[in-house]
Amino acid sequence: MTLPFRLALAAVLLLPGAAARAAEPVLSRPLLVEVKEVPAADQQKGGRFDYSDYNRQALLSLVRNRALLLATAEEFAALQRDGYQATVVMESRDPLTLYRRAYYGPTLKLPEVYHTYDQINARADDLMRQCPRLITRIQIGETTQFHRPIYAYRISSDARHALPRPGVLYTGCHHSDEVMGAEIVTALMQDLVLGYGRDPAVTRWLDQCEVYVVPVVNVDGHDIVTSGRDPRWRKNARDVNGDGVTGVFPEGVDVNRGYDFNWAMGGSDVPAKDTYRGPYPFSEAENRAIRHLLELKSFVLSISYHSQGEVIYYPWSWNGQPAPDDALIREIADQMAAKLVTMDGNGHYAVSPGGASSQSYVWLYGRKGDFDFIVETGKGTHLFAPEDVPGIIATNLEGAKVLLDRAGGPGLAVHVTDAVTGRPLVAQVWLPRIENESVDRRTTEGGFGRYWRPLRPGQYDLIISCPGYQTAVRNGTEVKPGAWTPLEVALIPAK
């Protein structure tokens, strides 16, 4: 074979009809090949085994210098001829069988270390029976295709009631094949509920704030993966072409490209693409479920778990400009990264600003004022071997705790009320020396009139306004180290 492996792949993709089926496997690659001891140089960007981007036509995974890939007989021979330790794991003309073997392992079924949505909810049921005061279930929506319920769980020292406390949110599985997120969020849910009254840190967190967890955002897609039907499935299960047939790869909409902050700048408008964003912002019920949750509760900090890459993305780099809160957001991201140990044990997760378009972390920050982070768990695949799962969960729980600590301050705890009646107001709280027109104005939480604003210690100017009231200005407001600095603002009705 004269063409290098990656050039051969490109040649295959240029065959007639390939563009329309770009995400489908190529039937002429009947071999699942394992390559051991892949040199580090070949794993770099642009190298022969570059796993920096999705590539379901050839390279499927690269974990600890072990690659799994699809190949023709000629490509396999070229690997051996070039000195690679290549062996054939399976041969099949059915591409889905090869994918299932590559991602699920020899049984072609999801390993039991992972859990279905029903199993996750059953575990939550157990926790609610054991500790009804500490956890409650809230249905925030249902799925686009099969109308299955999407659940959030509120966890606090009195979860039976919504409380005027800072909120922290953890979500998993916007992308259904990235199942580690569901496992991490479920483990966190269990640790918080069972740790209250036993672990001083957990007790402090649940006494001071409200934690919400959404273990699985993309319930229909997660079911396709965890049922063993198709480990490649990334999007939701929407019948995009309307033919009445679901579960045919690569249908669906990328739920993490469907938010309405710079929506047209993100994802793809081609339905066959992995990043197809849908026909319009919030077209998918899964996105509307998260939007509904944000109507019920405002959040100070949050994490959306994805796989893979061992990197924390934060908002943002937009036309070369950082987010208004860049210094503080980066500081928190660095604190998390220091707790997140890589799979090889030799380092920590990287930290990077992400783009400013259509994803959950951008929408949560840009629209809602929530410092949201995407944590890409693990490296080299999206379905990790059973022996790797406990370690990935454990280190990510340590990272999650950083946000719970940070939810105790420092910053401003603003409370806005009517100066005559004392009732809470939904008011705009603007820090003109920090916030610019790239973000929406922040408001107090409905029902409580409260707003928690993470800030470094120092002095800040605030403008507080509400229709029908005189605007209040608070110059030189001092934020103290440690806990939240309270700020009471009673707005005078306009005459």
Q: Which of 200, 188, 198 is nearest to 135 (CA)?
A: 188
CB–CB of 282/289 below 8 Å?
Answer: no
The confidence score (pLDDT) of residue 10 equals 35
Query: Residues near 489 by Cβ (< 8 Å), separated by ≥ 6?
Result: 414, 415, 416, 417, 427, 464, 472, 474
Radius of gyration (C-alpha) of the chain in whole angstroms: 24
CA distance 59 to 451: 47
Here the tokens at position 376 are 């890409």
pLDDT in tens, 395-416: 999 999 999 999 999 999 999 9
Comparing 197 with 44, the larger pLDDT belongs to 197
Domain 117-406 falls in which CATH fold?
A: Aminopeptidase (3.40.630)
Q: Is the pLDDT score of 6 beyond 60?
A: no
The confidence score (pLDDT) of residue 27 equals 57
pLDDT in tens, 248-274: 999 999 999 999 999 999 999 999 999
Domain with CATH 3.30.70 in the chain: 5-104
Amino acid, single-letter form, for residue 218 = N
The confidence score (pLDDT) of residue 495 equals 82
pLDDT in tens, 344-398: 999 999 999 999 999 999 999 999 999 999 999 999 999 999 999 999 999 999 9
**Residue labelled with tokens 């420092």:** 410
pLDDT in tens, 410-456: 999 999 999 999 999 999 999 999 999 999 999 999 899 999 999 99
Q: Is the pLDDT score of 297 beyond 90?
A: yes
Domain with CATH 3.40.630.10 in the chain: 117-406
The confidence score (pLDDT) of residue 12 equals 33
The confidence score (pLDDT) of residue 259 equals 97
pLDDT in tens, 26-82: 457 999 999 999 999 999 888 889 887 666 778 999 999 999 999 999 999 999 999
Domain with CATH 2.60.40.1120 in the chain: 411-491
CA distance 8 to 1: 9
- Lowest-confidence range among 8-17, 199-208, 315-324? 8-17
pTM attached to this predicted model: 0.93
Beta-bridged to residue 302, according to DSSP, are: 169, 372
Query: Regarding the domain with residue range 411-491, which homologous superfamily does it belong to in the CATH classification?
Result: Carboxypeptidase-like, regulatory domain (2.60.40.1120)
CB–CB of 71/59 below 8 Å?
Answer: no
The confidence score (pLDDT) of residue 405 equals 97
What is the CATH code of the structural domain delimited by 5-104? Answer: 3.30.70
